[in-house]
Structure 1
Amino acid sequence: MHPLRSVTVVGGGLAGFTVAAQLRANGFDGTVRIVDPQGLPYDRPPLSKAYLTGDATLELAPSAWYDDNAVEVITGRVTRLSAGTGGVLVGGRELASDAVVLATGGLPRPLPGGRVLRTRADADRLRETLRPGGELVIVGAGLIGAEVASSARTLGVAVTLVDPVAVPLVPAVGPELAVFLQAQHEKHGVRFLHGTPSRIGGGFAEIERHDGERVRVGADTVLAAVGLEVHTGLASSAGLAVDGGIVVDSAGRTSNPAIYAVGDIARTRLPDGTLQRRGEHWESAMLDGTATARSLLGLAADTRPPPWFWSDRYGLHVEAVGTMAVPGKTVFRESGPASRLAFRLDTDGRLTGCASINGGKALRAARRLIARAAVVAPEYLRDPAVDVRKLGRNTRAGTG
């Protein structure tokens, strides 16, 4: 194998930035470039929360960091990927490198007549429309839709939230927490409609409810928050394996040993051939970037913890770790009016997932138990008097 002297990262979100930062943190002194149409890398999660209300900045590092760490940022769009040479074409300029890391992320699924929220420019345009007394219709009540609804209510905007699922997020957080979170929308003045949009335009949206009734609601702005599409054209044209994302191994390697993929666009194939779902959360992007940087440098991979995500809305901090969508049962714990936890046990009694509202240290302790595939008695999980952190030290709680 030739020595690694240069790396080009295509995409300036968290995953791409982490690759560059971890290369430098681990002593790589070769050329590092980040190519992105929007210039300096920035964080995406605040776009639907604090940035939308004017309370946050987005930069992942100050501009001086890139000079201090000799990371070149090229503002431009990659139009061609050369599988043979590791080169990329940016604005007619060919950039050769020993390795290319694709970190281009995904794009929101469009909705005719609706806006999307993925970039800083999207957020700036949306923020301009959010005025007290205005009317916003959000299609999709998942994490992004709920966060924007909360932010818009903070700004005094009337919000209608539309979703084809009566109670969203059940697979992610379990039924008890999903019902509680759904009730928060109504509590904070958000109108929820169970249905899908049939027509958008002229200051209104027409919604076809699940029972067939059509409802017309005022809409200065309609936002589509119905998930991501990954665009794999560059990868396909370079002959990379693609299957609902760019297929990679646990270190981010694609079917071409000189090309890696990380973040939303990557889909990991396990050693047994199973293709995992794409990770579309903040920590997943960071861990992908770290693993790929270490692989590029020939370093051993760190042990990957169970997947985790968080969301903030209406002053509540929502988190989930592991998976709540396996056969088994859910154990619910209420620790007070502001704290709730749901634990998922598989059919063998192993803890596979935990979701929480303001769960704090209990959720972090549950994550350690999930990593151990610990068997935990349901009565311990249900009882708010039992400290979840102590279950990790109790041999009766687990198998390892």
Structure 2
Amino acid sequence: MSLESVIIVGGGMAGFTTAKELRSRGFDGQLAIVDPEGLPYDRPPLSKDYLLGNRSGDQILLSAAAWFEEQGVDVVTGRAVALRPDDGVVVLEDGRELAGDRIVLATGGAARRLDIPGGSLDSVLELRSRADADRLRGLLRPGIRLAIIGAGLIGAETASSALTLGADVTLIDPIDPPLVPAVGPELAGRLHRMHTDRGIGLVTGIPTAITVDDAGHHIVMDTGGTIDADLVLVGIGIVPETALAASAGLDIDNGTLVDEHQRTSHPRVYAVGDSSRTRRADGTLLRRAEHWEHAMNTGTTAAASLLGQDLPAHGASWFWSDRHGVHVEGVGSMVGEGSVVVRERDGVPLASFRLDPDGYMGGCAAIDGGLTVRAARRIIDRRILVDPAQLADPDIDLKKLAR
């Protein structure tokens, strides 16, 4: 089938990258991005610089409006509600129909809601879009009581920002400390202690109900206690947006299923980013990823695949986060068999490395250690065997071990 037009549904990092890569790889056909919010923008700043007011809406755009005009990428403001893949048609909420030779689903995910009484109250906030961040910023002020349910990356970042804006913050999570699978227990403990060191309240437990009255919100905990707050924000992950895929009869299982080319079960439809999940040729389902770089990588892969080009090689997965003035990065996986080596200085953990049973590095995480993580990624990707004693020594430059 000829490729003269592509419609990308979703304007996040995955959808934008697909469009950008198609153009940079030589595609000169019709190209459109459909998104209810219009011009694509970056999501990570929503809990940090954008929430704090340090960056404007224009400053978080993935590219200025002029780029889309210069590149001939139509940005269609609208919500897609159905697909007719045999015809290559995307149906919008207002009745418009867009047709393309290929359709790329970059629909992302919706904030996961609490499945408890009161969990779906309109006053229970989420942070997934620019409008969500605008609403939260408009409500935050010095002294206001903010309870954040979920102390993962989004919850921790938002807690740090809200504290800077003067809020009285309480973080609620069932795990103490959170993020052990992402960064290992030593770094997770250090990161979690940063909250209490700065006056944020930490509560370990599971909310069972939320009520609201003139005095504010009341979060009933499984321990029997109640947490009172003026504002409640839930940050417990996302649910992949697969309604469009389902409307088209595509294979889904906690995400729209794709092969290593990002192709879905219909030959005209591809899927990328948070909403996609890889199914290997033998039927094995990989864990669905939600990282910023994964979105970019899948968009790049889809563009290459659409054009019949060699698929790009991607290194070990990478993520980052910022809170309380420190920068956290991780690469690979800290979960799995083997052992963990911790690099410390004066008893303070700086980085953690997971070694598989054969001694090869499978994952690394570091606080304010971007160069360490970059070197670790090289070690992981190139299967370089490193002496654990050297990994543990903070005076040894990991870059030298990655050669």
Into which bin does the TM-score normalised by the smaller protein fall? over 0.9
Say yes or no: does 1:275 pair with 2:285: yes
Shift of 1:199: 3.1
Bigger mean CA deviation after superposition, 372-381 or 10-19:
372-381
Which of these residues, 67, 70, 88, is aligned with residue 69 of structure 2? 67
Are the structure 2 counterparts of residues 39 and 301 from structure 1 closer, same or farther at C-alpha, using a change threshold of 3 Å? same
CA distance in 1: counterparts of 2:176 and 2:371, whole angstroms: 31
Q: Is this contact kept in 2: 1:352–1:373, CA < 8 A?
A: no
Q: Is this contact kept in 2: 1:197–1:205, CA < 8 A?
A: no
1:1-400 matches, within 5 Å, as: 2-56=1-55, 57-90=59-92, 91-111=94-114, 112=119, 113=121, 114-200=124-210, 201-202=212-213, 203-208=216-221, 212-217=223-228, 219-335=229-345, 340-393=350-403
Structure 1 stretches of at least 4 aligned residues deviating more than 4 Å after TM superposition: 335-339
Q: Is this contact kept in 1: 2:328–2:365, CA < 8 A?
A: yes
Shift of 1:232: 1.3
Consecutive unaligned residues of structure 1, counting only runs of 5 or more, are: 394-400
| Amino acid in structure 2 at the alignment position of 1:102 | L
Are the structure 2 counterparts of residues 336 and 261 from structure 1 closer, same or farther at C-alpha, using a change threshold of 3 Å? farther
CA distance in 2: counterparts of 1:339 and 1:299, whole angstroms: 44
Q: Deviations over 1:340-388 (max 9, x none)?
A: 1100011111100000001121110100111123332210100112221
Q: Percent identity?
A: 53
CA distance in 1: counterparts of 2:345 and 2:195, whole angstroms: 22
What TM-score comes out, normalization by structure 2 length?
Answer: 0.94
Q: Is this contact kept in 1: 2:88–2:103, CA < 8 A?
A: yes
Q: Deviations over 1:160-212 (max 9, x none)?
A: 00001121000110000000001000011110000122332221323425xx2
For 2:339, what is the secondary structure of its paired residue? strand
For 1:51, what is the secondary structure of its paired residue? helix
Q: Is this contact kept in 1: 2:187–2:349, CA < 8 A?
A: no
Q: Is this contact kept in 1: 2:342–2:349, CA < 8 A?
A: no
For 2:364, what is the secondary structure of its paired residue? strand
Superposed CA RMSD in Å reads: 1.4
For 1:52, what is the secondary structure of its paired residue? helix
CA distance in 1: counterparts of 2:42 and 2:348, whole angstroms: 28
Shift of 1:339: 7.3
Bigger mean CA deviation after superposition, 322-331 or 335-344:
335-344
Alignment coverage as a number of residue pairs: 389
CA distance in 1: counterparts of 2:268 and 2:346, whole angstroms: 53
CA distance in 2: counterparts of 1:198 and 1:10, whole angstroms: 36
Q: Is this contact kept in 1: 2:190–2:349, CA < 8 A?
A: no
Q: Deviations over 1:122-171 (max 9, x none)?
A: 11001101101111000000000000000001111000000011210001
Q: Deviations over 1:255-299 (max 9, x none)?
A: 111100000000012344321111111111011111101111111
